[in-house]
Amino acid sequence: MISSMLKPTVIRIRKRLRGNPDWGKFPRAIPALQTEFEKQVTRLGLAKSEYMYSAELKHWCDRNRNRVYVPEWLLKEWGMTIENIFSEPA
């Protein structure tokens, strides 16, 4: 009588997946970060054609040209040079 009341139970066994499921897929694009120069240009609200004529940007570039990236063409326009501290052999 007890055996007729029991329902059969189904045990589901899941196959263990091994390895990296993303192998062979293209990696997600990493967003490009702004340089300090680009952040400054955005803060000042300048277009590329206005870079050369901005006194505030020129002053900022003069103070930071050896520390952060400043486009070479802009440095040439203003007659600025950077210190090549890594060019001499040790």
DSSP state string for 62-90: HHHTTTS---HHHHHHHT-----TTSS--
Give the separation between CA 54 and CA 37, rounded to whole angstroms: 13
CA gap 10, 82 in Å, rounded: 75
For residues 45, 35, 88, 90, the Cα torsion angle rounded to the nearest 10 degrees is 150
Residue 88: predicted pLDDT: 59
- Interval 80-89 mean pLDDT: 74
pLDDT in tens, 34-74: 999 999 999 999 999 999 999 999 999 999 999 999 999 99
Q: Where are the domains of the chain?
A: 34-82
pTM recorded for the entire structure: 0.62
CB 58 within 8 A of CB 50: no
- The pLDDT, as a whole number, for residue 16 is 78
pLDDT tens track for 2-25: 556 677 787 787 777 788 888 888
Across the chain, mean pLDDT equals: 87
pLDDT for 6: 74
CB of 61 closer than 8 Å to CB of 76: no
